Amino acid sequence: MALDRVAVITGSAQGLGKGIAEKLGGQGYKVVLSDINEEVLKETLEEFKGKNFEVSALVADVTKQEDHDSLVKHAVEEFGKLDVYINNAGVEGEVEQIEKIDPKNIDFVLDVNVKGVLYGIQAAAKQLKDQGHGGTIINASSIAGHEGFDFLTTYSASKFAVRGLTQVASKELAKDNITVNAYCPGIAGTGMWDRLDEKFMDVLGTKRGEALEQYASSISLGRVQKPSDVANLVSFLASEDADYITGQAILTDGGIVYR
């Protein structure tokens, strides 16, 4: 029997977001996929339909407040309600010395990683309040939201900000039985880390794959992260088993940052 829970996941056409969507879809969630990349989004939608997931998709730009409103509306029209809203979409930004950061890049990273999360919280909170039965909002932070990493100035700043948004929202929405938490991935073998590796080559003079290898060597469990490692945590936070957890930014990094 299908699980009577509806989840919206931003940035879910590929990478960690796709892994989260696949986990929830496999558990019986009704899932709304969303991404700015329409072509890849369509491919993922068809792939998941082939697995008999209850799934729909909508192209959205998380930097636009109205797109989050559209995602919530789409979820309600397709599946009747909203239970879980996952602000997964994010960008890595520049890899650069702090004194050389481009102002345009600052704006871009903060627009996606901070405003994109805030707008998602706002849209989801309104719907969940209107429904009157609570729900959960889950945000993507990072190990770089617990500790600043060299040459990742804007990314680290944005992910620290996500932790702040998570705490504030959790306090304000608790009376409505809405939990708000964040997940903090580490080093994953995804497209984002492929791009980071290339950017480190320009700044540090490393060879292809070398930066990833150096960062991965610090992982206590001895391997880079898989999307399923993150999805396992997010699926728990999305479940009723996590109803007494709120305001937390939980590390899932194989043992890099210890708090």
- What lies within 8 Å, CB to CB, of 37 at 6+ separation is 13, 14
The stretch 224-236 carries a mean pLDDT of 96
CATH assignment at residue 143: 3.40.50.720
Confirm whether 120 is domain-assigned: yes
pLDDT in tens, 45-75: 999 999 999 999 999 999 999 999 999 999 9
Catalytic residue list contains 258: no
- Say whether 238 counts as a known binding-site residue: no
pLDDT bracket for residue 1 (50, 70, 90): very low
Residue of 29, 85, 155, 215 with catalytic role:
155
Confirm whether 258 is domain-assigned: no
Q: List, edge to edge, every strand of the sheet that includes 178-185.
A: 54-59, 30-35, 6-9, 84-87, 135-140, 178-185, 249-252
Element (H, E) at 167: helix 153-173
Confirm whether 216 is domain-assigned: no
Confirm whether 115 is domain-assigned: yes
When divided into structural domains, the chain yields a total of 1
- Say whether 55 counts as a known binding-site residue: no
pLDDT > 90 fraction of the chain, expressed in percent and rounded? 81
pLDDT bracket for residue 219 (50, 70, 90): very high
pLDDT in tens, 173-213: 999 999 999 999 998 877 776 777 677 777 767 777 777 77
Confirm whether 139 is domain-assigned: yes
244 is in which domain, residue-wise? 5-188+226-252
pTM as predicted = 0.94
- Say whether 129 counts as a known binding-site residue: no
Closest CA to 92 of 12, 19, 198, 9: 198
- Say whether 62 counts as a known binding-site residue: yes
Confirm whether 207 is domain-assigned: no
Alpha carbon separation from 232 to 65, 98, 258 (Å, rounded): 29, 34, 20
pLDDT in tens, 118-176: 999 999 999 999 999 999 999 999 999 999 988 899 999 999 999 999 999 999 999 99
Amino acid identity for residue 108 in this structure: F
Confirm whether 166 is domain-assigned: yes
Confirm whether 215 is domain-assigned: no
pLDDT in tens, 3-38: 799 999 999 999 999 999 999 999 999 999 999 999
